[in-house]
Structure 1
Amino acid sequence: MEMKGAGRSLAWLLATWAATRALLLLFVFRVFAFPGPDVTSDVSVIYRGWYEVLRQGTFPLDDVTWQYPPAAALPVLSPGVLPFLSYAHAFFVLACLADAVVLALLRYAGGRPDRSPRGAWVWVAGVPLLGPTVYARYDVMVTAVAVAALLAGTRHPRVMGALTAFGALLKVWPALLLVGAVRRRAWAAAAVTAAGLALLFAVSVPGAFAFLTFQRDRGTEVESLGALVFHVARHFGWRGEVLLNYGSIEFLGPHVDQVSTAALALTGAAFGWLLLWRVRATRFAPHTLADAALTAVLLFTVTSRVISPQYLVWLIGLAAVCLSYRASRMGPPALLCLLASFVTVLEFPLGFSHVVTSDWYGVTLLVVRNGLLVAATVTAARRLWRATAPPSAATPFAPRTTSAQETPVSS
């Protein structure tokens, strides 16, 4: 009976994934039109343009919208492996394949002792909540690498380190997966892999690190937490502008620099909190690696000058890994991330015109979405601290003492 129940559960999981992903493909293939602006233009226009440049053996040196680490060239070039399809259609198929890889990894991990199939269901249910944007950006491919790294972490730290380094060279944020790694082998493998790949790109392709200079004059993106200041201020006479700037819709004008600086300061504070947590933490269970990764990425997402819809793909993937462990305490933050994903699709693309004009409907959507992300961040941080720090360090300001129940950190 138990095996029959497990088989039925797997059948429902696969059927739900197939139905929802077929719908996403129908939207990105433009068989059905999804309301709002066309989310596939990034692939058919921007990615395709980068593809043509990269094929010539150089990075897009004159395009300030290229703001990605050098390994990002790989997903941009990947549609070339399907020459019988158009560039955009090949990209969508490969994005769906990356989605399927994540499901397979989570389903396999969920079947092991002390694990749970909840993680696979979080992924299956969470991705379609974001709408077709998921397949129209390369973030789902990066998330697949991050999920593989975390799932490998407890048993194969070197594999985790190598995958984390590769993910960081795809889109930086996977470097945060190492915040909960306690084995030096993971850090060493990450350092060696990152150095080797960076050197390879630097000597083989001109402009591999030009992206580092393309973000200095950015404003505050209209969907970020800091942008709420200007959305409200526009109703009280603020004289700034909303413009396409460096590849995203941003606020430009009076006091934008100060808000952007404040966002950077908050990011610094988030890093300081993570450093303090790592110093204080003494109890590391197998699921702590994933719990810390979700917390770290939440912290850096909410303090960023940009909170694009595709960022939620990262959070869904990390939340799914957390909930593949029965002992994980990240259930409430994961639920908040799923709710934020649903509000995100209401905000983009469905209500993006309201966001750009800062009407009260658009502002309300942003307040709710960003509020859910802040709540998820605070909840995740508190739960991570309480699960890993000694009782005497229940708050960041408590003096540290040792306890006989503490689990030593292995190397």
Structure 2
Amino acid sequence: METKAARRSPAWLLATWGVTRVALLLLVFRVYAFPGPDVTSDVSVIYRGWYEVLRHGTFPLDDVTWQYPPAAALAILSPAVLPFLSYTHAFFALACLADAFVLALLLSAGRHSERSRRGAWVWVAGVPLLGPTVYARYDVTVTAVAVGALLAGARHPRVMGALTAFGALLKVWPALLLVGAVRRRAWASAAVTASGLAALFAVSMPGAFAFLTFQRDRGTEVESVGGLVFHVARHFGWHGQVLLNYGSIEFVGPYVDEVSTAALALTGIAFGWLLLWRLRARRFAPHTVADTALTAVLLFTVTSRVISPQYLVWLVGLAAVCLTHRASRMAAPAVLVLLASFVTVLEFPLGFSHVVLSDWYGITLLALRNGLLITATLIAAPRLWRATVPPSAAAPFPPQPVRTTQAPVSS
């Protein structure tokens, strides 16, 4: 529930954002060191190396860690717009700017009578819970595009479609935003935008879609739900290894391929459920597209072979959009996402050495974080179904039977 003071003025909201974001900037600028491994090295070493290749008009084809769609090149090249800063400092400044842009969008959306500032508070609180990692990856920029697409929603379906397509070419997952779109104009706009941009990259820069091969060859990452199997198995004689593979820490050894295949199968089942929901859904409200987006991304996150800490940025952004709608049914999943974000920073970077060693502290952190995400998914999916599918339709989440007492009929 919002307080009257919170509805009158966003002062506390803005002050909280300012304090927490200054703290994040001090951490990524290394004025103060955050415990654990240096999370900024991805920017200063990996992104910086990609930048040197990309600015010469080609993708880093010899680097298997390049596993991103072609428009990701724009995010990697973006620090060039701030030539008076070093590459890393410019990247962090732009990440903070994207963060501020999301807040501005959520505040603007929250001014409507049927909307709420709860969403803005979710964003303000959720981002710093992830620690400095949030500014040391380009996911906050992708999330800004996705938030803009969802908030365009029903009023501007063509804008939603175009932004969704652009977001998908930045990091694939925003394509899931279209699952809840009901207007054909959104789908048509997305198709035209995606086709045009993909053709442009394919013609202008060699190797635009090499990332598809690199993604296919990935294994089971140590932070994923499937990875928990091997963390526990190491205590019972499993003789595999934990190695840096395709840019992330993955398990390598017996049965890894089988677990990875099972994860892909679960992702296929998740896609099937979403398709079934889309065919059965009949009741669409203004908040349905956002609720669907959060549910879809949760489903694909928990079934993925990889759950990197920055994935939580996506979920925080989508949860924030959901809660800008007073009628959204995603309040509980949003709270669970925030809790999972806090546990994530305990797991990475603070406790990552424990995760790599598969000691019981690391396993507990992973089980708790992944358990929260699974619980959020298992709450979100039935709520979405029951809110949109008529009770008469056969469903995997049927409504609870209502018992009635009938008076005896006299003969």
Give TM-score scaled by structure 2 length. Answer: 0.95
The CA deviation at 1:154 is 1.3
| Matching residue's letter, 2:229 | V
> Are 2:192 and 1:192 aligned?
yes
Say if 1:333 and 1:7 are closer, same or farther in 2 by CA, change over 3 A.
closer
Please give the secondary structure, in 1, of the residue aligned with 2:62: coil
1:131-280 → structure 2 map (5 Å cutoff):
131-280=131-280
Aligned-partner residue type, residue 29 of structure 1: F
Q: Could you tell me which residue of structure 2 aligns to residue 23 of structure 1?
A: 23
- Alpha-carbon distance in structure 2 between the residues aligned to 1:5 and 1:335: 22
Taking the aligned partners of 1:394 and 1:312, their CA distance within structure 2 comes to 33
State the match for 1:124 in structure 2. 124
The residue type equivalent to 2:138 in the other structure is: Y
Quick check: 1:120–1:324 contact (8 Å CA) kept in 2? yes
Aligned match of 1:390: 390
User: Which position in structure 2 is the counterpart of 1:402?
Assistant: none
169-178 or 205-214: which moved more? 205-214
CA contact (8 A) 1:28 1:40 kept: yes
In structure 1, what is the Cα distance between the partners aligned to 2:357 and 2:66? 27
Tell me which amino acid in the other structure corresponds to 1:162.
Answer: A
| Residue in 2 that maps onto 1:368 | 368
* 1:397/1:356 CA distance change after superposition, 3 Å: closer
For 2:225 and 2:3, how far apart are their aligned partners in 1? 47
Report the counterpart of residue 312 of structure 2 in structure 1: 312
Structure 1 counterpart of 2:290: 290
Match of 1:57? 57
Which residue of structure 1 lines up, in the alignment, with residue 110 of structure 2? 110
Q: Could you tell me how far 1:9 is from its partner in structure 2? A: 3.7
Report the AA paired with residue 334 of structure 2: A
Q: CA deviation at 1:3?
A: 12
Counterparts of 1:234 and 1:11, CA distance in 2: 51
Q: Which residue matches 2:407?
A: none
Describe the superposition over 1:261-281 as per-residue Cα deviations: whole angstroms up to 9, x where unpaired.
Answer: 000000000000000111111
CA distance in 1: counterparts of 2:110 and 2:65, whole angstroms: 39
Deviation at residue 162 of structure 1 after TM alignment: 0.2
How far does residue 392 in structure 1 lie from its aligned partner after superposition?
1.9
Retained in 2: the 8 A contact 1:226–1:305? yes
Q: Which whole-Å deviations, capped at 9, do the CAs of 1:48-74 have from their partners, x for residues lacking one?
A: 000000011100010000000000000
SS at match of 1:150: helix
SS at match of 2:362: helix
SS at match of 1:250: strand
Asked if structure 1 preserves the Cα contact closer than 8 Å seen for 2:106 and 2:321, the reply is yes
The number of equivalent residue pairs is: 398
Instruction: Decide whether the 8 Å contact of 2:222 with 2:355 is kept in 1.
Output: yes
CA distance in 2, matches of 1:188, 1:10: 37
Q: Contact 1:344–1:369 (CA<8 Å) still a contact in 2?
A: yes
Distance 1:102 1:261, change over 3 A: same
Instruction: Give the drift of 1:215.
Output: 2.5
Deviating more after overlay: 126-135 vs 384-393: 384-393
Residue 393 of structure 1 deviates from its aligned partner by 3.1
Moved more, 340-349 or 8-17: 8-17
Task: Kindly state the Cα deviation for residue 212 of structure 1 after the two structures are TM-superposed.
Answer: 1.0
Instruction: Report the CA distance shift for 1:394/1:127 in structure 2 as closer, same or farther (over 3 A).
Output: farther
| Amino acid in the other structure paired with 1:136 | A
Amino acid at match of 2:134: V
Relative distance call for 1:285 and 1:244 in structure 2 (3 A) is same
Contact preservation (8 Å) 1:385, 1:394: no
Q: C-alpha distance in 2, partners of 1:70/1:269?
A: 28
Give the AA of the match of 1:333.
P
Structure 2 counterpart of 1:214, one-letter code: F
Q: Is the 8 A contact 1:122 1:316 kept in 2?
A: yes
Q: Does 1:83 align with 2:83?
A: yes
Question: Which residue of the partner structure matches residue 405 of structure 2?
Answer: none
Give the 3 Å change call, closer, same or farther, for CA 3–117 of structure 1 in structure 2: closer
Task: Report if aligned partners of 1:276, 1:396 keep a CA contact under 8 Å in 2.
Answer: no
In structure 1, what is the Cα distance between the partners aligned to 2:341 and 2:166? 26
Distance apart, 1:217 and its partner CA: 2.7
For 1:279 and 1:215, locate their aligned partners in 2 and report how far apart those are by CA, in whole Å. 30
Q: Unpaired runs of 5+ in structure 2?
A: 400-411
Deviation at 1:397, TM superposition (A): 7.8
Residues in 2 aligned to 1:229 and 1:4: alpha-carbon distance in whole angstroms: 48
Distance 1:316 1:394, change over 3 A: farther
Paired residues of 1:386 and 1:394 also in contact (CA < 8 A): no
Match of 2:74 in 1: 74
In the alignment, residue 374 of structure 1 is paired with which amino acid? Answer: I
Q: Which amino acid aligns with 2:264?
A: L
Amino acid in the other structure paired with 2:296: A
Post-superposition shift, 1:6? 5.1
What letter matches 1:155 in structure 2?
A: R
| Structure 1 equivalent of residue 300 of structure 2 | 300
Spell out, residue by residue over 1:318-374, the C-alpha distance to the aligned partner (whole angstroms, 9 max, x if none): 000000000000000000000000000000000000000000000000000000000
Q: What is the CA distance between 1:98 and its match in structure 2?
A: 0.1
Aligned residue in 2 for 1:403 = none
Question: Cα–Cα, structure 1 residues 5 and 40, in superposed 2: closer, same or farther, change >3 Å?
Answer: same
1:196-215: CA deviations, max 9, x gaps? 00000000111111111112
Measured after TM superposition, the shift of residue 391 of structure 1 is 1.2
Counterpart-to-counterpart distance in 2, 1:319 and 1:393: 28
- 2: CA distance, partners of 1:386 / 1:216: 35
- Where structure 1 has 5 or more consecutive residues not aligned to the other structure, the ranges are 400-411
Contact 2:222 2:250 in 1 (8 A): yes
Give TM-score scaled by structure 1 length: 0.95
Shift, 1:104, TM fit: 0.1
Q: Does 1:335 align with 2:335?
A: yes
CA drift at 1:297: 0.3
Change (3 A) 1:354 1:143: same
Using the alignment, how far apart are the partners of 2:257 and 2:167 within structure 1? 30
Change (3 A) 1:349 1:316: same
**How far apart are the structure 2 equivalents of 1:230 and 1:4?**
50
User: After TM superposition, what 4+ stretches of structure 1 lie above 4 angstroms from structure 2?
Assistant: none
Q: Distance in 2 between matches of 1:371 and 1:387?
A: 24
